[in-house]
């Protein structure tokens, strides 16, 4: 990292830079407002920097379906576990998939029973394992949004080029814009704006959100991941929200994360995706099927499709009873409103998808905000400071704080 970059990073993490933005946010929130991020890294940034403790009571920061591990359905986890049970197979996976419960077990538990499951940082690392063990089948669990899938597409192309025959991938990828479209169509939606994912947008470009802003009138701001990035994006969104509410302005797509994101995105990465994958319908854990929201291999790359190669069929396992992860990802409820939260469902023994990954809304809430300065997204700060337990009325307490004379929620 250069000195300049380091200085820039220090500013983006400094209290001095944050202060003015926080004041502006307090001034802009004069009625209940809900903004949603749809990226695990934003979820963690908001929790890790304690940003909710700095927000005015009327502003709710919601976590949508932004964690790729969390939205991977049970049936797909089960298929990865089946692969780990194949004799001589090596399953390579991102670390946070290890503890995700399938319908009966986890990859972590399978490893404890002798399966060869390895944590890798990239698909290329999995390909290296395949080259090093030519007599064994190496199966990579391909999860992720548009940020991750191009690298995996490039890895599959490299495997094809070099004739690596013992390498395959489960294509469990998901696409962000169709999920935003689904969220925008939720009946009785109370969302006022989207904090759009920075990394995904580097690949797909900010123009990908135009249908959301233009078609549904929801302001969108593409944000970076440092605390000052997130705060600045919140200010930009609140200014748009005010303009839309008061002046009849049209919702638009803006980019706060200008140092990395363009309107068109990364063409080369988009070409890679188009060469290897085709868009298909996909199942999202806790939410259900979303049309044209996933990827499958094109015919030419079928030999690399782990599901087809080992004839591991899709199962129909359903989500756990009592779990409200779907509602949490849709912005209807917050983690402390779940009866299982922090009791039956903990990061050590997760029931629902949002508790599974460190990026999940429930896990981030559990780790960073349970009993914290603010106990729930909508709760007034004072409730948290007195250590009041997170209750089911937290969200209502927040909206009860609306300023006199303001009309109903957006």
Residues that bind another protein (CB under 8 A): 1, 6, 13-15, 18-19, 22, 40-41, 44, 47-54, 68-69, 94-99, 101, 104-106, 108-109, 111-113, 119, 121, 143-145, 147-148, 199, 227-228, 231, 346-349, 357-359, 366-373, 387
C-beta of 337: minimal distance to another protein in Å? 19
C-beta of 15: minimal distance to another protein in Å? 5
Nearest to another protein of 31, 174 (CB atom): 174
Nearest to another protein of 146, 219 (CB atom): 146
Strand residues in 198-275 grouped as ranges (E): 220-223, 253-255
What does the alpha-carbon distance between residue 97 and residue 107 come to, in Å, rounded to a whole number?
A: 7
C-beta of 47: minimal distance to another protein in Å? 7
C-beta of 219: minimal distance to another protein in Å? 24
Q: State the SS3 of 283-333.
A: EECCCEEEEEEEEEECHHHHHHEHHHHCCCCCCCCCCCCCCCHHHHHCCCC
C-beta of 252: minimal distance to another protein in Å? 27
Sign of CA dihedral 84, 132, 165, 71: positive
Nearest to another protein of 349, 409 (CB atom): 349
Nearest to another protein of 219, 394 (CB atom): 394
Strand residues in 298-348 grouped as ranges (E): none
CB 228 within 8 A of CB 11: yes
DSSP structure class, residue 226: S
The closest of 331, 328, 332 to 340, measured between CA atoms, is 328
C-beta of 348: minimal distance to another protein in Å? 5
The enclosing H or E element of 346 equals none
C-beta of 231: minimal distance to another protein in Å? 8
What does the alpha-carbon distance between residue 171 and residue 85 come to, in Å, rounded to a whole number?
A: 19
DSSP structure class, residue 213: I
Nearest to another protein of 188, 387 (CB atom): 387
Q: Give all strands of the β-sheet with 138-142 in edge-to-edge order.
A: 116-119, 90-93, 138-142, 167-171
The closest of 297, 294, 293 to 275, measured between CA atoms, is 297
Nearest to another protein of 88, 400 (CB atom): 88
CB hemisphere CA count around 338 (13 angstroms):
32
CA angle 361/24/66 to nearest 5° reads 20
Nearest to another protein of 219, 350 (CB atom): 350
């Amino acid at each position: 990292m250069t000195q300049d970059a380091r200085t820039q990073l220090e500013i983006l993490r400094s209290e001095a830079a944050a202060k003015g933005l926080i004041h502006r946010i307090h001034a802009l929130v004069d009625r209940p407002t809900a903004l949603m991020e749809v990226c695990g890294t934003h979820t963690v940034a908001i929790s890790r920097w304690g940003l909710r403790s700095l927000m005015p009571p009327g502003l709710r920061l919601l976590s949508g379906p932004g964690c790729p591990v969390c939205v991977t359905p049970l049936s797909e986890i089960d298929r990865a576990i089946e692969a780990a049970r194949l004799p001589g197979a090596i399953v390579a996976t991102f670390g946070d998939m290890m503890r995700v419960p399938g319908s009966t077990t986890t990859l972590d538990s399978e490893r404890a029973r002798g399966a060869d499951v390895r944590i890798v940082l990239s698909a290329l690392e999995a390909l290296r394992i395949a080259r090093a063990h030519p007599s064994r089948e190496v199966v990579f669990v391909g999860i992720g949004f548009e940020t991750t899938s191009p690298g995996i597409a490039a890895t599959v192309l490299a495997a094809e080029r070099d004739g690596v025959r013992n390498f395959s991938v489960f294509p469990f990828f998901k696409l962000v814009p169709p999920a935003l479209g689904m969220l925008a169509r939720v009946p009785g939606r109370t969302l006022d704006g989207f904090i759009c994912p920075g990394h995904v947008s580097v690949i797909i470009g900010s123009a990908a959100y135009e249908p959301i802003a233009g078609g549904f009138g929801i302001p969108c701001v593409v944000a970076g991941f440092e605390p000052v990035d997130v705060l600045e994006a919140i200010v930009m969104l609140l200014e748009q929200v005010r303009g839309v509410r008061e002046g009849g302005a049209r919702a638009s797509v803006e980019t706060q994360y200008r140092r990395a994101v363009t309107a068109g995105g990364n063409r080369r990465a988009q070409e890679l995706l188009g060469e290897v994958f085709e868009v298909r319908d996909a199942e999202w854990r806790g939410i259900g099927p979303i049309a044209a929201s996933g990827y499958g291999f094109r015919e030419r790359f079928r030999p690399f499709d782990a599901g087809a190669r080992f004839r591991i069929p899709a199962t129909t396992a359903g989500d756990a009873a009592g779990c409200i992860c779907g509602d949490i990802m849709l912005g209807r409820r917050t983690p402390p409103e779940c009866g299982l939260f922090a009791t039956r469902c903990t990061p050590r023994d997760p029931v629902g998808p949002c508790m599974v990954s460190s990026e999940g809304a429930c896990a981030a809430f559990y780790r960073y905000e349970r009993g914290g300065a603010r106990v729930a997204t909508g709760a007034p700060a004072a409730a948290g400071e007195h250590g009041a337990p997170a209750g089911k009325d937290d969200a209502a307490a927040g909206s009860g704080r609306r300023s006199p004379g303001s009309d109903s929620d957006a």
